[in-house]
Structure 1
Amino acid sequence: MNPQSADAIERLSPDECFELLGQSAVGRLAVIVGNHPDIFPVNYVVDNGSIVFRTGLGTKFWSTMRDPCALEIDGFDAGSGKAWSVVARGPAHLIVDLQEKAAADALHLDPWQPGSKSYYLRLTLDAVTGRRFKAIRPDIWNTPVWDARSELFH
């Protein structure tokens, strides 16, 4: 590794990581399925130093009940030209308390995807880490006109 490139990576404090987590609503949940990792997009809210999301019964639910998991988000600040990435890791627990569910709903934890998402899970964080770095190619953070994703909005 080039020593200059290592200097360009800024380690984020836990407070900075939580600030970024609070500014985003969608992350990638990494879980162990069988003997391999799998990743699911989830919308979430930050609540009292933890992350709350909803899901239905299925692979994501059962995997989070068995093993610790991780949530990753990333982004780009066009003003500074810097990209950032945050990873939060720990065990997930099923929320059964009705007041706790109501508190999560009050934070606008509404599913984006149709279907039953009646299980509320809280990711209790053992670790939260992040980094920020100058993007070599800031243009890749923009969605090109030809990108298939742009077809979804026309």
Structure 2
Amino acid sequence: MDANDGFRELDRQECLHRLAKVPVGRIVYTRQALPAVLPVNFGLDHDGAVLVRVSAASELVRAIAGAVVAFEADEVDAAAHSGWSVVVMGAAVLVTDPAEHARLLRTGPRSWAPAPQEVFVRIDPELVTGRELVGGHTLYKVHLPS
């Protein structure tokens, strides 16, 4: 950590531990050759893969299936000026194996927007990075003349 930047790098295990504590993150992908970001609720599989349960007919499934994506989640304490952010990058694949799909129906994340036909998208954690803001900065009051 650079002594002046106030951030501490998180190792892979710390990153996965923090991801497991928050319910919502953002998938970063390409839509019509432009970057797109979509908030989603998610869960982690036993191997650290990010799991998202979505409608089989969603635009998101068509856009990310088989593509390399980024997934980001964070937690911020505005009052304490502290927080952390974790990014997972990897291939997004549809879970097509019937036994795996059945397992995820029991143990995987529940969709916050249920649909008649849902699929699981798995983002394999090829690269996991994170950082934490330590020792948040104190805000200084500025006194303006009346």
User: TM-score, length-normalised on structure 1?
Assistant: 0.76
Contact 1:55/1:116 (8 A) holds in 2: no
In the alignment, is residue 5 of structure 1 matched against residue 4 of structure 2?
Answer: yes
1: CA distance, partners of 2:44 / 2:130:
16
Question: Conserved in 1, the CA contact under 8 Å of 2:29 and 2:63?
Answer: yes
Structure-1 residue corresponding to 2:50? 51
Equivalent residue runs for 1:123-142 within 5 Å: 123-134=123-134, 135-136=136-137
Is contact 1:45-1:107 (8 Å) kept? no
Partners of 2:32 and 2:13 lie apart in 1 by 34
Q: Identify the residue that residue 147 of structure 1 maps to in structure 2.
A: none
Larger Rg: 2
Question: RMSD of the TM alignment (CA)?
Answer: 2.4
Q: Is the 8 A contact 1:87 1:130 kept in 2?
A: yes
Which residue does the alignment assign to 2:142? Answer: none
State how 1:1-150 maps to structure 2 within 5 Å.
4-6=3-5, 8-47=6-45, 48-56=47-55, 57-76=57-76, 82-116=82-116, 118-134=118-134, 135-136=136-137
Task: Give the counterpart letter for 1:54 in structure 2.
Answer: R
Unaligned runs of 5+ in 2: 140-146
Q: Which amino acid aligns with 1:28?
A: R
What percentage of aligned pairs have identical amino acids? Answer: 27
Tell me, in whole angstroms, the C-alpha distance in 2 between the residues paired with 1:107 and 1:114.
Answer: 16
Return the offset for 1:66: 4.5
Q: Which amino acid aligns with 1:29?
A: I
Cα offsets for 1:118-145 (capped at 9, x unmatched): 111111111010000133379xxxxxxx
Counterpart-to-counterpart distance in 1, 2:30 and 2:51: 19
Conserved? CA contact 1:54–1:117, under 8 Å = no
Which has the larger displacement, 97-106 or 64-73? 97-106
Aligned partners of 1:132 and 1:104: how far apart in 2?
Answer: 31
Q: What SS does the corresponding residue of 2:20 show, helix, strand or coil?
A: helix
Specify the SS of the correspondent of 1:5: coil
SS in 2 for 1:111: coil
- Structure 1: tracts of 5 or more residues without a match: 139-154
Structure 1, residues 5-58: CA drift from partner, whole Å, max 9, x if none? 32x110000000000111112111111011101111111111022111112223
What is the CA–CA distance in structure 2 between the aligned matches of 1:22 and 1:111, rounded to whole Å?
Answer: 16
